[in-house]
Structure 1
Amino acid sequence: MSTPGMPLSAALIPDCTELKAHRAAYKRAKTNDAIFVCIARQGRRWKVELDAMSCSGPIIPDEAVTVLRSAAEALVLADTVTQANIAADYISMWAFESEQRAREIAAAFHAALYGFRQLYTAVPSKRRRP
């Protein structure tokens, strides 16, 4: 896992196809106060998962969720993924055709989550959630 507050590069995104690997990676993320990210094989395709509940920090603001959702929708329209779920604290996308593409997208969304959280912390919104 990276230094707290730092996104992972594509090469460092853990493969959590096996449940034991998923549990270990999530535990490392929590221990390091980091946003959890992984890829996992599902049949011949790959899934991307991110979970911001693994660390402390602000919830991603609605405006940022809108940007992330727009990016995910573009991936669906481009047939890069078949489905995506985007929320303020959790992202999942599947079915990527290649491990490399899943890693690239996982790293990009991981960096975006960190960036939005840092921006939100530095420039708090007057509409902060309770």
Structure 2
Amino acid sequence: MPMTPGMPLPAALVPDCTSEEAHRRAYKKAKADSSIFVCITRQGAQWSVVLDVISRPLVTDEAAKVLRSAVEELVATGAAAGGANFSTEYISMHQIGSEGRAREIAAAFHAAIYGLQQLQVAVPIPRQSP
């Protein structure tokens, strides 16, 4: 079932971008669709998750705190044993034990970012100046 650009991907449709060509193709498609890029990659027996907001609006600072907390919890509990990188534009998590778990995590963060961005559009929250 093709997904409409701008919609979160279910876990089964998160692309496996282990090969460089698959990564390039998926990233190019996400950019062309103005979508949030998401993929999983295999590294030996472990998996990684990558999300890149590309050119979509950034999530608010408040929403970023929620996302960061979830990433930190995955690392703290060992679900992403290889650690993680986090910014409001990019998330990567490493050494996830199975493809299924990596897909679940990727789909959840993909949906969360879309939902937060949709909420921000519907209910604009003024950004506070530093």
TM-score with structure 1 setting the length: 0.92
Q: Counterparts of 1:57-72 in structure 2 under 5 Å?
A: 57-72=56-71
Give the Cα separation in 2 of the matches to 1:31 and 1:79: 35
After superposition, the CA RMSD in angstroms is: 1.4
Report the residue type matching 1:36 in the other structure.
Answer: F
Q: CA deviation at 1:32?
A: 1.2
Give the Cα separation in 2 of the matches to 1:100 and 1:27: 24
Give the Cα separation in 1 of the matches to 2:128 and 2:28: 29
- Any idea what the Cα deviations from partners look like across 1:53-82, whole Å, max 9, x if unmatched? 1x4x32111111110110111111211112
4+ residue stretches of structure 1 with deviation over 3 A? Answer: none
Identity %, equivalent residues? 57
Give the Cα separation in 1 of the matches to 2:22 and 2:61: 31
Q: Secondary structure at the match of 2:41?
A: strand
In the alignment, is the contact (CA less than 8 A) between 1:64 and 1:116 conserved in 2? yes
Give the Cα separation in 1 of the matches to 2:128 and 2:108: 25
Q: Counterparts of 1:1-130 in structure 2 under 5 Å?
A: 2-53=3-54, 55=55, 57-82=56-81, 83-127=83-127
Unaligned runs of 5+ in 1: none
Give the Cα separation in 2 of the matches to 1:80 and 1:126: 35
**Alignment coverage as a number of residue pairs:** 127
In the alignment, is the contact (CA less than 8 A) between 2:60 and 2:127 conserved in 1? no
